[in-house]
Structure 1
Amino acid sequence: MSYMKEPKGSKYDRDPSASSPLSAAISAQDRDTLAMVASALKDRRMRLAFQPVVYAADPTLIGFFEGFIRLLNLRDQVIPARDFMAAVEQRQLGREIDCAALQLGLMTMQRNPQIRVSINMSARSVGYRPWLEILTRALAETPRLGASLILEINEDSALQVPDVLKPFMAEMREKGIVFALDDFGAGMTSLKLLREMDFEIAKIDGSLVKNVDRLQDAKSAARAAIAMAQELGMYVVAEAVETEGEANWLREAGVGCLQGYLFGPPTVTPDFRAFRHGRPNFGG
């Protein structure tokens, strides 16, 4: 799951009296959306939707599931993440969404001890006491959860506060948790920082996967990202795989796991019985 940064000088930083009618309308819409999100969190109208991440060599085998937060309005309809993620990124609500996703993911793992799950987080989570308390309490109560938990961090977020993340990652690794770098290859990458943080998994961004079997530019970009990840010692997962052609190309290029609608959409009613005990070799 990608988090979008709010641009500097955004509408939230301007004097409302100086806003254009369009800006005022957009602000009003955002306020309504934020209120709806806050209400969903308060009343716990939320779910995790799980999408399988399969082995490239044998897509019938599931390596792990990624959990995506789903917030519901008063009619139990999903509030599209694209409608609120940009607005909540730098707000308290963003931290509360991270807490909700982590708590739901850990509860699912406690009920289904055979599965392995990845949960999205951002750098802001590390310094947020309620989020840390949810994680540390669950690990204290059920230590085995660590070996089955993957924490996914957006590349842009990870590179903003490496000094905060590095000691946290080192501490959590001792409990068996592994870390995935989400949206790998989508932005400006600091090889030095990535080498120091030592992520176990690189999730190749979906923008590099689309039409990778047909377009030369896509092939070149994907090859470069895969090579960079492998050079850094990361296990490679490709996101947003939608066609057999893409899957075949990625498999031949050395990708270890595949994720996308070709293998199943995120669902709030996953069949965890389909999980096999074989695991990708990225730790845990």
Structure 2
Amino acid sequence: MSKKVKSSPFDFAVQKRQSETLDMVRIALAHKQVKLAFQPVVLTAQPDCMAFYEGLLRVTDQQGRVIPAKDFIDVVEETDMGRQLDALAIEQGLMALAEEPSLRLSINMSANTIGYAPWNAALLAGLSKDPTLAERLIIEITERTALCKSDDLLDFMTEMQGKGISFALDDFGAGYTSFKYLKDFYFDLLKIDGELINGVHKDPDAQLLTEALLDLAHKFEMFVVAENVETFEDAEYLSSIGMDCMQGYYFGVPTLTPYWRVNQILGKTA
């Protein structure tokens, strides 16, 4: 008879934390406490010019705290709640595009959501009102989930690109790097993972990898975004090697009240 494996205090703490996270997201979904925060992605050659914005999921917990996606997405990504969040993200993203005609916006989506009926319905509902929104929409797929759903992903991308939607491969270089994606999939943008970028100006190894990825992506005719740019020194180095776009706290934090909504509020009170 096999012996029962005892859980360690650490395992118990992890399970408790995951359970609390699932409960938090479940309650937020039930009360529609899910929003997008918007972070600018700037053109390296013109840092005061926005290439596009990324819509980042936020949920509000029962204490009224706004919780960023990084604190819950790994726990819920492969559950139905993860797919529900993706559906809300695309719905709210299309609403933002309809609000501001000059906006170009990227929305995150797990490859696990491919074929999820509510996500498809939200997309079709938004595009039925204005099909041109597709030309300003970018869907970001993380490298990690793309690895697990590569067969479904290719068909999905072909269908969406037929509507005019662009695709970004997110968090590239985060640990599952496969150059197969660059060959087999037609991603329009490549986003280099922030762990490689943060502090790159003083890390020769990170510089070597960053420059190699940039050169390779350009050969595949992809625009490249450096994520997690937080200092002038990193931005200066990335500019010197010809990085196309940069994103990070150095250029702007994610906000629930982007400029177009501020302008709407000011217009109503004027």
**What's the TM-score once normalised by structure 1's chain length?**
0.85
Matched, 1:189 2:154: no
Partner Cα separation in structure 2 for residue 33 and residue 181 of structure 1: 27
Which residue matches 1:217? 205
Shift in alpha-carbon separation, 1:250–1:22, aligned structure 2, 3 A = closer
Partner Cα separation in structure 1 for residue 121 and residue 202 of structure 2: 47
Which residue matches 1:199? 187
Deviations 1:104-126 (A, max 9, x none): 11111111122010000011111
Which residue matches 2:79? 91
- After superposing the two structures, state which structure 1 stretch, 196-205 or 226-235, moved more: 226-235
Unmatched 5+ stretches in structure 2: 263-270
Unmatched 5+ stretches in structure 1: 1-15, 275-284
Query: Relative contact order, CA 8 A, sep 6+: which one is greater?
Result: 1
Partner Cα separation in structure 1 for residue 225 and residue 247 of structure 2: 7
Q: Report the AA paired with residue 90 of structure 1.
A: E
Partner Cα separation in structure 1 for residue 135 and residue 70 of structure 2: 31
Matched, 1:108 2:96: yes
Which residue matches 1:177? 165
Partner Cα separation in structure 2 for residue 80 and residue 173 of structure 1: 29
Matched, 1:251 2:239: yes
State the Cα distance separating 1:86 from its structure 2 match: 2.0
Counterpart contact for 1:210–1:218, Cα < 8 Å: no
Deviations 1:80-117 (A, max 9, x none): 43432222122111111111211111111111122010
Which residue matches 1:6? none
State the Cα distance separating 1:17 from its structure 2 match: 9.1
Q: Report the AA paired with residue 174 of structure 2.
A: A
Partner Cα separation in structure 2 for residue 224 and residue 186 of structure 1: 15
Shift in alpha-carbon separation, 1:191–1:25, aligned structure 2, 3 A = closer
Deviations 1:179-212 (A, max 9, x none): 0010112233332343121101001111121222
Partner Cα separation in structure 2 for residue 266 and residue 179 of structure 1: 21
Shift in alpha-carbon separation, 1:147–1:106, aligned structure 2, 3 A = same
Q: Report the AA paired with residue 101 of structure 1.
A: A
State the Cα distance separating 1:242 from its structure 2 match: 1.0
Deviations 1:8-50 (A, max 9, x none): xxxxxxxx99534443343233222211111101111122100
Matched, 1:54 2:24: no
Aligned Cα RMSD in Å?
Answer: 1.9
Partner Cα separation in structure 2 for residue 22 and residue 221 of structure 1: 35
**What's the TM-score once normalised by structure 2's chain length?**
0.90
Matched, 1:45 2:27: no
- After superposing the two structures, state which structure 1 stretch, 254-263 or 264-273, moved more: 264-273
Which residue matches 2:266? none
State the Cα distance separating 1:255 from its structure 2 match: 1.0
